[in-house]
Structure 1
Amino acid sequence: MNVLLTGGYGCIGSWITAQLLARGDAVWIFDLKEDPRRLRMVLPEEQVRRVRFVQGDVTDLENLTRTIKREEISHVIHLAGLQVPVCRANPILGAKVNVVGTLAVFEAVRLAGPQVQRLVYASSAAVFGPPEKYPQGSLSDDVPLIPSTHYGAFKVCNEENARVYFQDFGLSSIGLRPWTVYGVGRDFGMTSEPTKAIKSVVLGRKYHISYGGWQDLQYVEDVAATFVRCLDRPYSGAKSYNLRGQVVDLATFHRELVSVAPEAKQLVTFGDRQIAIAYDLDDSALQRDLGPMPRTSLGEGIRKTLEHFRRLQREGNLDTADLDAAKAPVVRADET
């Protein structure tokens, strides 16, 4: 496969790139600037050099179309987007990148015709409203979407546009809705704090997770594998699918972290405010239509993340800039 990743230098994109290269696929990253620092966290330098970089703005349809044609791209994974804090601070910019940029990707794929065999894009669990807006129990993909943020609203718009592209042009796409993705490279966004807590333990630093309550913790390697597997599974349609990892409260995350690294008991604390996104999401449709998909246990995911951070620390490559940055405002259930 010749795979184009928009926004591929982010956390999920870096892990997807690693898995694609391991399969023998060719990878192009389309992004505003070349920034392989997260790639270097998960790949040796000789593998990083195999990744081709194309400079471009995701809203630039002409450049996207030209790149897909020139590089003979056969599959597209669309990850480019601004996260919750940026969309909250600048919703007009957020709409331009997250909505207009996604439309540009869909249009470029449409113009490519049969050359592009599959489009997979990142939606988000942020399309859902706060837990109290829904009945108890696991929620299917198709319950009402009542997002609490501009970011979530933009993702709903993208899912609807995907449906219209299939309706009008027969363009199939798969949307995936990650929740709290954790693991090496997750250093920005509202739900990056569990990963930062794990990194802080490696450094022997105290860290307070600013929220509490329940969430769905999804190990980044599993999320990346889900995107990759969706590239070549037989599929026709434009559905958006829930992902599911380990649905736990922050107290359980803390206990699991302490069980792997006892020093975390004195270093990591957490708040009590519930994030305003439904957390008990049913992924049975994804498993049925495109699975099976991997699901790493929480303890194993924390252990692997700790070991990876410790290796980077031994090598002198553990970046701590994210721990010193200001925390993103938490969208809380009592704000909706």
Structure 2
Amino acid sequence: VVEDTRRMSLVMSPDEIARVQYIEGDITDGASFTRTAGHLGISHIIHLAGLQVPVCREDPIKGAMVNVIGTLNVLETARELKGQVQRIVYASSGAVYGMEEGYGSGLVSNDAILKPLTHYGVFKQCNEGNARVAYLDHGIVSIGLRPWTVYGPGRDFGLTSDPTKAVKAAMLGREFVINYGGRNNMQYVADTAEIFIRCTQADYEGAEAFSIRGDVVTIDEVIASIESVIPESAGLVTHTTTEIPIAADLDGSRLENDIGEIAHTPLDDGIRSTYEIFKSCHEMGNLDLSDLDA
């Protein structure tokens, strides 16, 4: 991690950002990660380091080094610092599931067979398995979370970042094409962050991975929500017909049963909040537009 406050400045004050300690490092360097965690006395780890679908597709070796070896390094750090590190909460992904038609009708259960169709999804499935083995062999407690489309301020990279970019473009009066269609499981970024934090605090023992259910909607419904919040953007945002090969209709009840009730911001409210934050930052002259210009 290198110090880059562009995303944090969207939702945090300068005083809050100043309290964050940055340490530059490489998640594939396990020895360095363990030394740092030991030196700082880290007791709980939220592991979010990873490369997204496009990078894993183009360079699967690099993707595996970061996503799989990086996660193993975190698990091994918890083993080496067993008396200190109490729990890991890590980002798995809805990408561990396959296409929706492969699961029949109705909700896809948390324990449904995993059928990932991308390198990224396979790497995440591998991480879930390694976390279970780390618990069985060494008692390392972990919780894996399977986000789908996380949207909101700061979501500017990765396959499912397009809905967030679309809000930014609509606010600016620009045209934007969301590069896929079909159904998505939309999860507002603040809710997702709260769930990760809650999982560090919950009374839990084990090493399970849990699906997260947000608003399961079509991309047409996402665009309609953007247009309802920003009426002047009508017609600016469109989408292709390519569908993401991941089941969207996931059952999130297992997470709530084990962790407790989780936050859920309705789609229209999440889109409105995203728009208002982008608009405020743009008016202050500090809204990063590089994701739209890439």
Match of residue 282, structure 1, among 216, 238, 251: 251
Aligned partners of 1:111 and 1:203: how far apart in 2?
Answer: 50
Matched, 1:212 2:210: no
Match of residue 195, structure 2, among 226, 229, 247: 226
**Corresponding residue SS for 2:292:** helix
Deviation at 1:115, TM superposition (A): 1.1
Deviation at 1:254, TM superposition (A): 1.5
Match of residue 85, structure 2, among 112, 116, 133: 116
Deviation at 1:266, TM superposition (A): 2.2
Structure 1 window deviating more from structure 2 (290-299 vs 35-44): it is 35-44
Match of residue 140, structure 2, among 135, 153, 171: 171
- Superposition RMSD in Å: 0.9
Aligned partners of 1:223 and 1:314: how far apart in 2?
Answer: 27
Residue 20 of structure 1 corresponds to none
Residue 94 of structure 2 corresponds to 125
Matched, 1:59 2:51: no
Aligned partners of 2:66 and 2:238: how far apart in 1?
Answer: 35
Residue pairs, 1:1-150, within 5 angstroms: 31=1, 33-150=2-119
Residue 315 of structure 1 corresponds to 284
**Corresponding residue SS for 2:235:** helix
Deviation at 1:264, TM superposition (A): 2.2
Aligned partners of 1:238 and 1:93: how far apart in 2?
Answer: 26
Aligned partners of 1:208 and 1:60: how far apart in 2?
Answer: 38
The count of aligned residue pairs is 294
* Unmatched runs of 5 consecutive residues or more in structure 1: 1-30, 326-336
- Asked whether the equivalents of residues 187 and 215 of structure 2 are also in contact (C-alpha less than 8 Å), the reply is yes
**Corresponding residue SS for 2:68:** helix
Deviation at 1:74, TM superposition (A): 1.2
**Corresponding residue SS for 1:113:** coil
**Corresponding residue SS for 2:204:** coil
Aligned partners of 1:149 and 1:214: how far apart in 2?
Answer: 18
Task: Give the letter aligned to residue 114 of structure 2.
Answer: L
Task: Quote the sequence identity (%).
Answer: 52
Aligned partners of 1:293 and 1:147: how far apart in 2?
Answer: 26
Residue 223 of structure 2 corresponds to 254
Aligned partners of 2:78 and 2:32: how far apart in 1?
Answer: 12
Aligned partners of 2:96 and 2:232: how far apart in 1?
Answer: 36
Match of residue 161, structure 1, among 130, 135, 144: 130
Structure 1 window deviating more from structure 2 (175-184 vs 56-65): it is 56-65
- Asked whether the equivalents of residues 118 and 232 of structure 1 are also in contact (C-alpha less than 8 Å), the reply is no
- Asked whether the equivalents of residues 79 and 140 of structure 2 are also in contact (C-alpha less than 8 Å), the reply is yes
Aligned partners of 1:61 and 1:192: how far apart in 2?
Answer: 29
Residues 43-72 of structure 1, C-alpha deviation per residue, up to 9 Å, x if partnerless?
111211110111111121211111111111
* Unmatched runs of 5 consecutive residues or more in structure 2: none
Normalised to the residue count of structure 1, the TM-score between the two structures is: 0.86
Deviation at 1:324, TM superposition (A): 1.4
Deviation at 1:213, TM superposition (A): 0.7
Aligned partners of 1:230 and 1:137: how far apart in 2?
Answer: 27
Aligned partners of 1:275 and 1:196: how far apart in 2?
Answer: 17
Deviation at 1:41, TM superposition (A): 1.6
Aligned partners of 2:122 and 2:132: how far apart in 1?
Answer: 16
Deviation at 1:273, TM superposition (A): 2.1
